[in-house]
A = this chain, B = another copy of it.
Amino acid sequence: MSGTLYGVGVGPGDPELVTLKALRILREAQVLAWPAPEEGPSLAREIVADHLPGGQREIAIRMPLSPARFPADDVYDNAAAEISAALSEGDDVAVICEGDPFFYGSFMYLFGRLAADHPVEVVPGVSSLTACAAALGAPLSAKNDVLSVVPGPLAADRMSARLAEADAAAVIKVGRHLPKIRGVLDDLGLTQNARYIERATMAEQRIVSLDQVPENAAPYFSMILVHKRAEAWK
């Protein structure tokens, strides 16, 4: 009988923003899996490290720096094979996911490979979306606002159309797309309604207006929140 694959959201970075359910599943699972860069520690694992009992088998899912040499698909194929083997032996495998597993999370790549053959349960977590709004100290969306989440890699014209019609918006995965996003917001006259948030809820959290972020200095996991009702920023 197969074990269960758990996608466990551990929140945006503050170890106190982990749920009781996430902690229980992570402590009980026979096997833990977590994403990490090619070398060095896993941010996802570090969020919950103090709560792990020790003695669990751990599977590192390491993403190489040069995907041309070793494609992401191969990384997930290999991880899925290793996880599938553990599940087939009856072990539960808990994948530690930053934020929420189903909100733009890389858990979907394992889910897509494993859900047909094994039971899957997802433990929702505090997402970066609401964590950024809390860090900013301003409501994200209210009443009958339409809220749009717009990935930074989107082409400028599509991004502009989506931002033009939303009452509130979050541009995620900012990174190297910052100059384009800045241009789109400027053309829409929304620069003053936007705030840039980096590493929300972590010790290095930074919240600044758009003109204060140096070009090429935004990490991938940064976010720009936009609200049309300027009074929301007061």
Contact = CB atoms under 8 A, between A and B. Distances in A.
B9 A20 contact: no
Interface residues of A, number: 58
B165 A154 contact: no
A165 B216 CA distance: 30
A57 interface: no
A24 B16 CA distance: 9
Interface stretch (A38-46, A98-106, A178-186): A98-106
Interface in A102-129: 102-105, 108, 111, 115, 120-127, 129
Contacts of A108: 139, 142
Interface in A10-26: 11-12, 14-21, 23-24
Contacts of A125: 126, 130
A146 B149 contact: yes
Give the copy number: 2
Contacts of A129: 103, 127
A102 B128 CA distance: 13
Contact of A124 (B101, B126, B141): B126
Which 7 pairs, one residue from A and one from B, show the smallest C-beta to C-beta distance?
A16-B21, A122-B134, A100-B130, A147-B149, A124-B134, A102-B133, A124-B130
11 contacts: A16-B20, A17-B19, A20-B20, A100-B126, A103-B133, A122-B137, A127-B129, A144-B151, A147-B149, A161-B165, A162-B165
